Amino acid sequence: MSWLPVLAVAGLVTFAIRLSFIALLGRVEVPPLLTRALRFVPAAVLSAIIVPELVVRDGAPDLRLGNPRLLAGLLAALVAWRTRSVLTTIAAGMAALWALLALLPG
Amino acid sequence: MSPSPTCPAAAPPAATPWREFLAGCRDEGPILLGVAPFGMIYGLLALRAGLGPLTAQAMSSVVFAGSAQLVATQLIHDGAPSAVLVTTIFVVNLRHALYSASLATEVRHLGARWKGLLAYLLTDEAYAVIAARVSRDAAAGRASPNRHWYFLGAGFTLWFAWQVATAAGVFLGAQVPDRWALDFTLALTFIALVFPSLRDRAAVAAAAAAGVLSVVAFRLPYKLGLVLAAVAGVAAGLLAEAHRP
């Protein structure tokens, strides 16, 4: 199927969000609860995407240390926390994944 | 050089639209170092997820929001339904409403076309540069009448770089074999974005709750587990913040 119509809707939604308060001429304030909630959106959404990518293997959770994506992801998290660099994190994580895929059985 | 007798006030002449535009381009420049690889990764992953090269490129101008595009790529790869895709992009992009609110008074004198154009270009990276200019002007107590051209320069520079980076990623993505496991760069990119942002207990609570629930609810159909985990994460963050010791 073509994703273009869906992406067009998603694009309109994005544009509407960006235009919202600009179009309202600055007469409307953002509700304080929304401001506080929005702060947590990136961490919550991104974690909900990351964790299954690392933990779920062949359709089931795999928390063993023999899971290469879990190990490489944990190392990348440490690198991200220390360096705060996207490129360094990707380089370290991919190097770890390739090494683990080559070394670990199965 | 003596001051002009017809212009005794000390105010310097306003910069021309073109100069303002170029200043916006220049100030956006350093940010492109981080944005270009991000755009390439998107282009590469969009092909892996099964999007055609033209659709992948079109998303970069139609949606034009980095993390939302990467999330959409993941959802398309997993075969999520359209409603979940649009809802998730809505949630991921909601933060732009804050930028819109913050700039509303700065652009209220402009016409509808300018407002529409600047809203379309209002990404995280453009907002960062524009907000810095606004606060510099506020500190100096003056704003150039052509300042919207600066906003346009910053927004356009990011837009242009994003399109080129996407095209480069789409081009490279067609030549990379599957065994390189490059899809993992998506999780790594998100790890790099999340971990530096976990600066307080409430943010950690949000990430932890969302992460645990995403695995527990993994088997839910239509990727509802993702939406559920994200909502629970936001709630956990708000709760942790309210019960600060």
A95 touches chain B (CB under 8 A): no
Of A70-74, B73-77, B81-85, B139-143, the range with the lowest mean pLDDT is B139-143
Backbone angles phi and psi of A19, in degrees to 5: -85, -25
Tell me the shortest Cα–Cα distance from B195 to chain A, in angstroms.
6
Tell me the shortest Cα–Cα distance from B180 to chain A, in angstroms.
8
In the prediction, which pLDDT does B48 show? 87
- Higher-scoring residue by pLDDT: A25, B214: B214
Using a CB-CB distance cutoff of 8 angstroms, which residues of chain B are in contact with residue A82?
none
Chain A residue with the nearest C-alpha to that of B109: A25
CB contact under 8 A, B89 and A93: no
Q: Judging by beta carbons within 10 Å of its beta carbon (0-12, 13-18, 19+), is residue B120 exposed, middle or buried?
A: middle
Confidence of residue B142 (pLDDT cuts 50, 70, 90): confident
Q: Are B225 and B214 in contact (CB under 8 A)?
A: yes
In the prediction, which pLDDT does A7 show? 95
CB contact under 8 A, B86 and A10: yes
> How far apart (Å, rounded) are the C-alpha atoms in residues B129 and B150?
10
A10 touches chain B (CB under 8 A): yes
B152-163: average pLDDT: 97
Which residue of A3, A24, A101 is in closest CB contact with B104? A24
Residue B184, helix vs strand vs coil: helix
Using a CB-CB distance cutoff of 8 angstroms, which residues of chain B are in contact with residue A51?
210-212, 214-215
What is the count of residue pairs from A and B with beta carbons less than 8 Å apart? 258
Question: Is the pLDDT assigned to residue B101 strictly greater than 80?
Answer: yes
Tell me the shortest Cα–Cα distance from B164 to chain A, in angstroms.
19
Using the 8-state DSSP alphabet, how is residue B189 labeled?
H
- For A:70-89, CB contacts with B below 8 A are 72-73, 76-77, 80-81, 84-87, 89
In the prediction, which pLDDT does B207 show? 95
Q: Could you tell me the residue range of the domain that residue A85 belongs to? A: 4-103
pTM across the whole model? 0.76
In the prediction, which pLDDT does B153 show? 97
CB contact under 8 A, B90 and A13: yes
Token pair 């019960």 in the structure block, residue? B243
B62-82: average pLDDT: 90
B85-111: average pLDDT: 88
A104 touches chain B (CB under 8 A): no
Which residue of B65, B116, B210 is in closest CB contact with A14? B65
B167-171: average pLDDT: 94
pLDDT per residue as tens digits for the range B192-201: 878 887 889 9
Instruction: Render each residue's pLDDT in chain A as its tens digit; 106 residues.
Output: 589 999 999 999 999 999 999 998 766 777 888 878 878 887 888 898 889 989 988 878 888 888 999 999 999 999 999 998 878 998 999 999 999 999 987 5
Which residue of A30, A54, A101 is in closest CB contact with B101? A30
Count of the separate structural domains present in chain A: 1
| DSSP secondary structure of A17-65 | HHHHHHHTTT-SPPPHHHHHHHTTHHHHHHHHHHHHHHHEETTEE--ST
Amino acid sitting at position B211 = G
Which residue of B67, B86, B196 is in closest CB contact with A13? B86
Q: Which two tokens stand for residue A45?
A: 């959404």
B141-146: average pLDDT: 87
Q: Which two tokens stand for residue B128?
A: 């960062």
In the prediction, which pLDDT does A1 show? 59
In the prediction, which pLDDT does A84 show? 85
Question: Is the pLDDT assigned to residue B209 strictly greater than 80?
Answer: yes
Who's near B186: CB < 8 A, 6+ residues apart? Answer: A53, B41, B45, B70, B73, B74
Chain A residue with the nearest C-alpha to that of B96: A18
pLDDT per residue as tens digits for the range B3-61: 444 444 445 567 899 999 999 999 988 778 778 888 998 999 999 899 999 999 999 99
CB contact under 8 A, A86 and B34: yes
Chain A residue with the nearest C-alpha to that of B206: A44
Using the 8-state DSSP alphabet, how is residue B13 labeled?
P
Q: Are A104 and A66 in contact (CB under 8 A)?
A: yes
Average pLDDT score over chain B: 87
Question: Is the pLDDT assigned to residue B203 strictly greater than 50?
Answer: yes
Q: Which two tokens stand for residue A19?
A: 């235009």
Of A90-94, B114-118, B140-144, B178-182, the range with the lowest mean pLDDT is B178-182
Which residue of B98, B202, B233 is in closest CB contact with A47? B233
Amino acid sitting at position A5 = P
In the prediction, which pLDDT does B1 show? 43
B148-161: average pLDDT: 97
User: Within 10 A of B35 (CB to CB), how many other CB atoms are there?
Assistant: 20
